[in-house]
Structure 1
Amino acid sequence: MKRLPLLVFGGALTAMAAPVAASEVTITVTDLRNTKGVVRACMTTKEDIFPKCIKDPASHRTVVPAGEKVTITFKGVKPGNYAIALLHDENDDGKANRALGMMPKEGYGFSRDAPVRMAPPKFKDAVFEHGEEAQSLTIKMRYFL
């Protein structure tokens, strides 16, 4: 059995232990019905809590002013499988307002434009893979009322 020089072996260990590069995810939000309030965005890898990723302390979250053109950039995103939830919080009260207790009054959107039926989409319908390269996504804001 041939022995590898210690220097080469040590270098291989260093390469294997190198941290995974983080990059950016940029979201372009389309079809806002007005420029009132803010757009709340959160991105998580946690299937069991999606779309309420505020329960994930490692999630990426931000709030930006609503406008004719809304762009959101999450920096330092490690490779993995993520899902994004958006809320057009028109009255900026920090919650998704509902009519008759269940129908959303404000806009919402999800990565992969995951369909909304009688409830928010499942993680598997909104999930996308993020690698080491910067990534751009477009999410259409939808309104029930």
Structure 2
Amino acid sequence: MRHGSRHIRSLTCLAAAAALTGAAPPAAPDPGTTDVTVTISNLRNVKGVIRACMTQNKKRFPKCRGDASAYAAVVPAKANAVLTFKNVKPGTYAIALLHDENDNGKADRALSMIPKEGFGFSRDAKVVMSPPKFSSAAFTVAEAPITQAIRMRYMF
């Protein structure tokens, strides 16, 4: 019994430490999933954060709003930024990035249409008068880890 209570006490201390630091214990990888790592280049400054979403839903790309199965990540803006989507299930996905320079959680626009902040898409899909179609940014995830290189773009 004594060994069991020590184990419970250790788990309680671990949970308390995680709660204080705001960190969760590392999750074990789900079988049949992999990681998708995104390297981000061409940031014009290191203000704010980079917001990313990855979806399989063609109708929800590039915003991912309302897609419960979309993956999301936020990292501080910095030179040569990297983010990773963990435990990604196999399928066809597209990624959209936003350099949210003022960290207000939205894409700021000029003249209600032109993005004032940076953006980028998987497969470095080009933007011509509107965001790229899902098919232009789509890539396949299987069992091996994947890396996508995305260059941020700015309209002005």
- TM-score normalised to structure 2 length: 0.79
Partner residue in 1 for 2:121: 110
- Structure 1 position 113, deviation (Å): 1.1
Name 1:91's counterpart in structure 2: 102
Contact 1:86/1:109 (8 A) holds in 2: yes
Question: Secondary structure of the equivalent of 1:54?
Answer: coil
Identity level (%): 56
Please state how far the C-alpha of 1:71 moved relative to its aligned partner.
0.3
Aligned pair 1:132/2:150, yes or no? no
Gaps of 5+ in 1: 1-18
TM-superposition CA deviations, 1:21-70 (whole Å, max 9, x none): 10100000000000000000000000011001132111110111000121
Distance 2:65 2:50 in 1: 15
Partner of 1:66: 77
Partner of 2:8: none
Q: How many residues matched?
A: 127
Aligned equivalents of 1:54 and 1:116: distance in 2?
20
Runs of 4+ more than 4 Å apart: none
Query: Of residues 36, 40, 51 in structure 2, which corresponds to 1:25?
Result: 36
Unaligned runs of 5+ in 2: 1-29
Identify the residue that residue 56 of structure 1 maps to in structure 2.
67
Shift of 1:118: 1.3
Q: Distance in 2 between matches of 1:20 and 1:65?
A: 29
Please name the residue that 1:11 is paired with. Answer: none
The separation in 2 between residues aligned to 1:116 and 1:89, in whole angstroms, is 18
Alignment deviations for residues 63-109 of structure 1 (CA, whole Å, 9 cap, x no partner):
11000121001110011000000000000011111111111100000
